[in-house]
Amino acid sequence: MLEYASYALVLLALGAYLLLDGYDLGIGILSLFDRSDQRRKEYNELIATAWDANESWIILAGVALWAGLPGVYATVLPGVYLPLVVMLLAVVLRGTAIELQSASPGYRRGWGLVFGISSLVATLCQGLVAGAVLSGLPHRGGVFTGGTWEWLTPYSMLCALGLAAVHVLAGAAWLQDKTTGTAHDRAGRLGRPLLLAVAVASVVLGFGLRLADPQHLRFDQPLRATLFGLAVAAAVVCGAIAWYGFGRRPDWRPFAAVAGAEAAGLLALVAATAPVVVPPDLTVHAAASPHGSQLFLLIGVGGCMPVVLAYNIYAWWVFRGKFAQTPAHTDAAGPSDTTAAAERPAAVSRAAGDGPWAAVVTRRVLLTLLALAVAALSQDVFGGVRVWIGPAAVAVCCVTALAAWIRSDRRSAAAGEFDLWAAEK
C-alpha cells in the first residue's frame, strides 16, 4: 500500500501547484491583454510576493515521482522532453522578469512582455504534457518506445488551450480578491466569460478523454462512478458559486470557488483513470519503487510538504488584504484617488536607459538562453561525450556571454538603473 501513498503525494504536490502557481501564470497571461502600464506593474508586484513558493510544489512533485514511481518517470519524461524543457526555460525567464520588474522604479515594458509571454508558454507546455500523458505514451517494460513528436496529439493541444483558460480564470479571481480600482472591476467583468470558456473546455475534454485515452474507462464500476459523479457535482457547485461571486462582495469568494472546482476536477480525473497512471496499462503498482525507497520518500518528501505549505501560508498572511501601490509608484493626486488618476498609463515613469523595448527584450532573452545553453553543453563536454561541442567552444561561449553581460550591466549602471535609492527620492 505504500505505493498508493506515494501516488497520493504526487497528486497532492501537482494539485497544490495547479492551485497556487496556476493563478500567477493566469495573471501573467492577463497582463498581455491589458493596456495600462500601472495595472501591469500592479500585477507583477502581486506575483512577486509568492511566485517562488508556488513553484516549489512542482519540484516536490518531480522528486516524489522519481523516487516513488520510477516507472512513470522513465516513461513520461523521454516522451515529453521537448515541451518540458521549453516549459522550464519559460519558467526561468519568467522568474527573471518578475524580479527585475519588481526592482525597477518604473514599469519596464520589455520585462513585462517577457513575463506575459513566458507565462503563456509555460501554461501551454504544461497542457501539452498533461494531454500527452492522458492520450497514452507508447512504452514497453517501463521504457518509452515512441518518437520525438509523440506528445503532439489533438487531445494534447486541446488540453493546452483548456489549461490556459483555467489559469486565466484563477488569475481573474485572484485579482478581484487582491486589487482595487479598475483592476478589481476589470477582473470582475472578465470572470463570467472566462468561467463559460472553462465550462466548455471541461465538457469537450471530458468527452474527448474517452476517445483519446487508450484504456477503457470503467464507469460501470459502482464505486468509481460514484466518486466521479460526486467530484463532477462538486465542481459544478463551485462553478455556480464563482459565477455568482464575480463582481460581488465578498471578493474572496470567486477564488475560493475556483480553487474548489480545480481540486474537484483533479479528483474526478483520478477517479476516472486510477490505478492506471500512464495509459493504457502502466499502473501504480507496476511503476512503484521498492519498499525501502517508498518509506524513505514518505518520510523525506512528506516531511518537506508541511514546511512548504507553512511558507505559503506565512506569505499569504504577511501580504493579506488588498494590494496598495507604494507612494513612489502612485500619482501625485494623493492616496485617496486610486481608481482613475493613479492608474493611468502616463502615471508610470519609464526607467532611464530603457531604450527600444524590442532591442532590450531581444538582448536579455538571448543572453539568458546563451547562459543556459553553455550550462547544458558543458555537461555534455565534462560527461565525456562531446557530441555537440568541444572544450574550446565552451570557453568561447562563456567568455562571449560574460563580456556581453558586463557590457549590458555597465550601460545600465551608467543610466542609473541600479541606483534604486536615488530613483525613489
Q: What is the DSSP string of 322-365?
A: -----GGGS-TT-TT--SSGGG-GGGSPPPTT---HHHHHHHHH
pLDDT at 334: 40
CB atoms within 10 A of CB 249: 8
For 12-59, the pLDDT digits (tens) are 999 999 888 889 999 999 999 988 888 888 888 888 888 878 888 888
State residue 321's pLDDT score.
Answer: 79
* pLDDT score at 339: 44
- Unique residue bearing C-alpha cell 496598495: 324
Query: Virtual CA dihedral for 38, 40, 46, 49, nearest 10 degrees?
Result: -110
Task: Report helix, strand or coil for 289.
Answer: coil
- What integer pLDDT is reported at residue 223 of this predicted model? 86
What is d(CA 104, CA 124) in angstroms, rounded to the nearest whole number?
28
Q: Give this prediction's pTM.
A: 0.76
Distance CA 341, CA 336 (A): 10
Rounded to whole angstroms, how far apart are CA atoms 364 and 15?
33
Q: Which CB contacts under 8 angstroms, 24+ apart, belong to 308-316?
A: 308/53, 308/56, 308/57, 308/60, 309/16, 311/53, 311/56, 312/20, 312/50, 312/53, 312/54, 315/49, 315/50, 315/53, 316/50
> Tens digits of per-residue pLDDT, 163-212?
999 999 999 999 999 988 888 899 999 999 999 999 999 999 988 887 77
The pLDDT value recorded for residue 323 is: 73
Residues near 101 by beta carbon (within 8 Å), at least 6 away in sequence:
41, 44, 48, 107, 108, 111, 112, 115
Please write down the long-range contacts of 386-389, taking CB distance under 8 Å and 24 or more positions apart.
none
Q: Which of 82, 202, 71 is nearest to 132 (CA)?
A: 82
Helix and strand numbers (H, E) in the chain are 15, 4
Spans in the chain with pLDDT lower than 70: 214, 324-365, 367-394, 397-398, 401, 405, 409, 412-413, 415-425
Rounded Cα distance, 175 and 252, in Å: 10
